[in-house]
């Protein structure tokens, strides 16, 4: 059995405890959760600071999942908390249609500096799901504006996750998420996923094999005709399905096929963005310019919900035509560019810059990779894959009980004071980027012990 190192973290103050009586558990319907099972033994978070959560029963948890791949700068960062506090006292809400407030413009300009190439316009949303549906709608509207009215088909990828709204769900490729909702978009097709376990298991970084999987787009073009395809959307690294890293050359080929056929390429960077791969965006990490980019999560360090779509200049400009009195895009949200979200995002971007958090992630990534691959030889581990600060540890599924082994490992980690995530039988590790070397060691040592203890 491996030895788990001890780390001591004390919360700077003790917030008041809010007990939840068993009867109070009934009303709330938790998202993406087995509600009845959860309510039998609820896991409730009370406070957070830096790398740690504290539960309502006073236990300390090392956050190995950055909340939901989102808290990249660590929890309850003072600069962000204070910026939101100041903002709520000054301007709680600003009407979003036909009106705005200065921080929306300030934030869009800051993002423009960070976004790749000529991606110099920003549309604000409130979540990753809304960003995806917004990007798909902008892609459709772009082709319509140019008179390319037959371009209506949207192409996603099997095992892709693009949130839960109807557009994102339709282009997404996770069957369990679609099964209960038999009325999705129909002008949709899917690329195959890039998972080739026979050839790529235990790859460090980008796997060697599978670039040709991008050529499936040519088959889709053959089926429908290039002139009918509006856009392709992919996660550069697929996160929620269990961390699938793109094979070397795959994204380049996808970009080339899109260019050759007038198809827009959308990168869904909701997870990959803001340093998770050791660069501002996956687009930078891979050196590929998408036409549209969806972001959320790390944009505000998850403090206040916010998403956005980055749009390249030619796409934006194609829609800025006709009489100036006409609305160019009939789309938007009551909370687009909410003042609290803008204040949180601006403070978050300052923190990323001042503490060089993306650079720090790039510097620590080899250590993270090394620690992850110490699990390669464990019984039941069939793959360990990684890039930047994303790791997927895939376990052999139990006969007739998919997901059960990973759930047990998740619970053992939780009992041992470490929070990870699991989907099916893959454990995903994606901590805040401020994690120390000692905490990386603790995280993987705990995971190792949990896997070793699970039949
Ligand atoms: C790639 C990707 N797109 C979209 C979403 C949806 O984001 P949200 O849950 O904020 O709607 C997620 C969430 O994990 C995601 O990983």
- 87 C-alpha to center of ligand 1: Å? 26
- 132 C-alpha to center of ligand 1: Å? 8
pLDDT of residue 17 exceeding 70, the answer is no
Compute the distance between CA of residue 253 and CA of residue 455 in angstroms, rounded to an integer. 42
Q: How high is the pLDDT of residue 398?
A: 97
Compute the distance between CA of residue 190 and CA of residue 233 in angstroms, rounded to an integer. 10
- 316 C-alpha to center of ligand 1: Å? 24
Half-sphere exposure of 96 (CA within 13 A, CB side): 19
pLDDT tens digits, one per residue of 188-223:
999 999 999 999 999 999 999 999 999 999 999 999
Contact assessment for residue 336 and residue 126, using Cβ atoms and an 8 Å cutoff: yes
Q: Rounded to the nearest 5°, which phi and psi values hold at 363?
A: -70, -35
| 11 band by pLDDT with thresholds 50, 70 and 90 | confident
> Domains of the chain, with CATH numbers?
22-73+356-452 (3.90.1150.10), 79-354 (3.40.640.10)
Pocket test for ligand 1, best of 134, 163, 274 (most atoms within 8 A of CB): 163
Q: How high is the pLDDT of residue 207?
A: 98
Q: How high is the pLDDT of residue 5?
A: 64
Report which ligand 1 atom has the smallest distance to the Cα of 297: 10
Q: What angle do CA 367, 370, 371 make, to 5 degrees?
A: 85
- 241 C-alpha to center of ligand 1: Å? 11
Q: What is the DSSP string of 289-350?
A: --SEEEE-GGGTTTSS--EEEEE-HHHHHHHS-S-TTS-S-----TTTT-HHHHHHHHHHHH
Strand partners, 394: 383, 426
pLDDT of residue 99 exceeding 80, the answer is yes
**3-state SS class at 385:** strand
Pairing outcome for strands 426-429 and 390-395 = antiparallel
Q: How high is the pLDDT of residue 129?
A: 98
Report which ligand 1 atom has the smallest distance to the Cα of 305: 10
Report which ligand 1 atom has the smallest distance to the Cα of 163: 6
Q: How high is the pLDDT of residue 15?
A: 52
Q: Rounded to the nearest 5°, which phi and psi values hold at 319?
A: -95, -10
The burial of 147, by beta-carbon neighbours within 10 Å (0-12 exposed, 13-18 middle, 19 or more buried), is given as exposed
Ramachandran bin of 61, using left for φ above 0, alpha for ψ from -120 to 50, beta for the remaining angles: beta
Q: What is the DSSP string of 357-371?
A: HHHHHHHHHHHHHHH
* Protein residue closest via CA to atom 3 of ligand 1: 162
Q: How high is the pLDDT of residue 6?
A: 62
Nearest CA-CA partner of 123 in 141, 104, 110, 150: 104
Ligand 1 — pocket residues by CB below 6 A?
Answer: 127-129, 132, 161-163, 235, 239-240, 268, 270-271, 296
Q: What angle do CA 322, 325, 329 make, to 5 degrees?
A: 65
- 331 C-alpha to center of ligand 1: Å? 20
| 21 band by pLDDT with thresholds 50, 70 and 90 | confident
- 294 C-alpha to center of ligand 1: Å? 9
pLDDT tens digits, one per residue of 409-454:
999 999 999 999 999 999 999 999 999 999 999 999 999 999 999 9
Report which ligand 1 atom has the smallest distance to the Cα of 129: 11
pLDDT of residue 50 exceeding 80, the answer is yes
Compute the distance between CA of residue 130 and CA of residue 128 in angstroms, rounded to an integer. 5
pLDDT of residue 337 exceeding 60, the answer is yes
Share of residues in the chain with pLDDT > 90 (%): 95
| 3 band by pLDDT with thresholds 50, 70 and 90 | low
Residue 197 is encoded by which pair of tokens?
Answer: 């376990």
The size of the chain, in residues, is 455
Pocket test for ligand 1, best of 236, 271, 305, 333 (most atoms within 8 A of CB): 271
Residue 33 DSSP class:
S
Share of residues in the chain with pLDDT > 70 (%): 96
Compute the distance between CA of residue 167 and CA of residue 174 in angstroms, rounded to an integer. 13
Compute the distance between CA of residue 80 and CA of residue 239 in angstroms, rounded to an integer. 26
Compute the average pLDDT of residues 341-353. 99
Report which ligand 1 atom has the smallest distance to the Cα of 165: 11
| 253 band by pLDDT with thresholds 50, 70 and 90 | very high
pLDDT of residue 16 exceeding 70, the answer is no
Nearest CA-CA partner of 283 in 346, 236, 227: 236
pLDDT tens digits, one per residue of 270-296:
999 999 999 999 999 999 999 999 999
| 20 band by pLDDT with thresholds 50, 70 and 90 | confident
* Protein residue closest via CA to atom 8 of ligand 1: 128
pLDDT of residue 14 exceeding 60, the answer is no
Nearest CA-CA partner of 232 in 210, 253, 208, 205: 253
- Which residues, at least 6 apart from 432, have a Cβ–Cβ distance to it below 8 Å? 50, 51, 63, 66, 71, 72, 73, 74, 75
Compute the average pLDDT of residues 350-370. 98
- 104 C-alpha to center of ligand 1: Å? 22
- 193 C-alpha to center of ligand 1: Å? 18
- Which residues, at least 6 apart from 332, have a Cβ–Cβ distance to it below 8 Å? 96, 97
């Amino acid at each position: 059995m491996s030895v788990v190192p001890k780390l001591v973290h004390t919360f700077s103050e003790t917030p008041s405890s809010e007990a939840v009586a068993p009867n109070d558990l009934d009303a709330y319907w938790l998202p993406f959760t087995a509600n009845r099972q959860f309510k039998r033994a609820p896991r409730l978070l009370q406070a957070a600071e830096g790398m740690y959560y504290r539960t309502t029963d006073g236990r300390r948890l090392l956050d190995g999942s950055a909340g939901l791949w989102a808290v990249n700068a660590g929890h309850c960062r003072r600069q962000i908390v204070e910026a939101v506090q100041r903002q709520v006292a000054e301007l709680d809400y600003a009407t979003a249609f036909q009106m705005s407030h200065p921080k929306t413009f300030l934030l869009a300009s800051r993002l423009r500096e960070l976004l790749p190439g000529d991606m110099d316009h920003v549309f604000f949303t409130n979540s990753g799901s809304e960003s995806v549906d917004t990007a798909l709608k902008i892609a459709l509207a772009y082709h319509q504006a140019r008179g390319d009215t037959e371009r209506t088909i949207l192409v996603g990828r099997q095992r892709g996750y693009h949130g839960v709204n109807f557009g994102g769900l339709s282009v997404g490729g996770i069957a369990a998420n679609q099964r209960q909702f038999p009325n999705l978009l129909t002008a949709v097709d899917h690329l195959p996923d890039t998972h080739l376990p026979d050839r790529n298991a235990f790859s460090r970084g980008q796997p060697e094999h599978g670039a040709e999987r991008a050529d499936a787009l040519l088959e889709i073009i053959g089926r429908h005709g290039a002139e009918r395809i509006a856009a392709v959307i992919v996660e550069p690294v697929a996160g929620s399905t269990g961390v699938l890293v793109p094979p070397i050359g795959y994204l380049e080929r996808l970009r080339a096929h899109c260019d050759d056929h007038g198809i827009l390429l959308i990168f869904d960077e909701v997870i990959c963005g803001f340093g998770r791969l050791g660069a501002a965006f996956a687009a930078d990490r891979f050196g590929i310019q998408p036409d549209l980019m969806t972001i959320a999560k790390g944009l505000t360090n998850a403090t206040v919900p916010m998403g956005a779509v980055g749009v390249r200049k030619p796409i934006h400009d194609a829609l800025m035509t006709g009489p100036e009195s006409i609305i160019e895009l009939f789309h938007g949200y009551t909370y687009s560019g909410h003042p609290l979200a803008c204040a949180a995002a601006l403070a978050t971007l300052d923190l990323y810059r001042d503490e060089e958090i993306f650079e720090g992630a790039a510097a620590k990534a080899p250590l993270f990779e090394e620690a992850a691959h110490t699990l390669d030889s464990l019984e039941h581990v069939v793959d360990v894959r990684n890039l930047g600060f994303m790791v997927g540890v895939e376990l052999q599924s139990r006969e007739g009980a998919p997901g059960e082994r990973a759930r047990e490992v998740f619970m053992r980690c939780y009992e041992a004071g470490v929070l990870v995530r699991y989907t099916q039988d893959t454990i995903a590790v994606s901590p805040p980027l401020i994690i120390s070397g000692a905490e990386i060691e603790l995280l993987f040592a705990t995971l190792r012990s949990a896997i070793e203890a699970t039949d």
